A and B are shown apart, each in its own frame.
Chain A
Amino acid sequence: MKIDREVLLSDLKTIVTPYAEDAEALQNISEKTDFIRDLKINSANLVDVVLDIEEKFGIEIDNDAMARMLDVSTAIEIIEEKLAALDRE
């Protein structure tokens, strides 16, 4: 199942909305947006973002993937990778 990046971006926006402290950055979210520097998501809530992504897409984000999950474009890449791996199974 291949999901359009625009759709992924919109899904991610919904997921990060409860945790983002910078409303303007959230409004202007793009692939370049950094979860911590731009959206000012607290690092203790970054786990919630990871768990919400796992639940929404039915994927498992391992520790190595989580290590890189600091911005929108990396999150999209990881979701695409994990979904593609599910397809191959």
Chain B
Amino acid sequence: MVDLLKAAQESNWKRNGYLHKIFTTQEQHLIHHAEDADLLVWLIWSMKESAYKIINRSTGIRNYTPLRFSCTNVTLNKHEATGEVHYQDIHCFTKTDILPGFIHSVATLSANDFTAIQVCNQPFTANYLTAFNQSQSTYLLSKNKTEIPELTHLRTGQKHAVSISHHGQHLAIAYSDSPLSTN
């Protein structure tokens, strides 16, 4: 999630050295040749962040290596962008919603997974969990002891994959219609 207004206010990507530290040469090329360079910066950044979340959740490794997440096949339309992110031998597919004031990327390990993914956008408030739970009657969203979000289907009791991200005023809850496999 990138709140574009907050990003414009708080991040000066044009400062000396900034792009070199986080974007590959090819990514910088895309940015410099884009109609809307600001949008490209935050689009590629959010693609990297969404892929990092997959790697971090699956490996538990926490580090800051934006250059090692390499974005390719970036296709930008008016309301949506797609692309791929490569990290070592792992390939992620990303889909980004481009909405007024913010963009939100979802990464998956298989392009087919997108059909099962729902994204709920909400304003970021202190009681966003309650707000989500009151907005629909299928799932219960909660956080476990280690602050990892959990989504439970109210009728089946099964857990579904869920990921929450927020920046500035915006929050997105991405979850899967399909239950997590138990193995």
Contacts and interface: CB of A to CB of B under 8 A. Distances in A.
Interface of A: 19, 42-48, 50-51, 54, 63, 66-70
A70 B17 contact: no
Interface of B: 2, 7, 10-12, 15-18, 21-22, 45, 49, 62-68, 167
Contacts of A19: 10
Contacts, number: 45
Given A63-B67, A70-B62, A44 B45 contact: yes
A51 B17 contact: yes
Given A47-B18, A47-B66, A67-B64, 7 more contacts: A44-B7, A48-B18, A51-B21, A54-B17, A63-B68, A66-B21, A68-B63
Given A67-B65, A70-B64, A50 B10 contact: no
Nearest to B48: A43
Nearest to B67: A63
B10 A63 contact: no
A50 B15 CA distance: 12
Nearest to A35: B64
Nearest to B11: A44
B21 A42 contact: no
Contacts of A48: 11-12, 15, 18
Interface majority SS on A: helix, strand, loop or mixed? helix
Given A51-B17, A51-B18, A46 B11 contact: no
15 contacts: A43-B64, A44-B11, A47-B18, A47-B21, A48-B11, A48-B15, A50-B21, A51-B15, A51-B17, A51-B18, A54-B17, A63-B67, A63-B68, A66-B21, A68-B64
Q: Which 5 A-B residue pairings sit nearest by Cβ, starting from the closest?
A: A67-B63, A67-B65, A44-B11, A47-B21, A51-B17
Contacts of A70: 62-64
Contacts of A43: 49, 64
B65 A66 contact: yes
Contacts of B17: 51, 54
Nearest to A50: B21
Contact of A42 (B15, B16, B63, B167): B167
A46 B11 CA distance: 10
Name the residue among B10, B18, B21, B64 with the largest chain A CB count within 10 angstroms.
B64
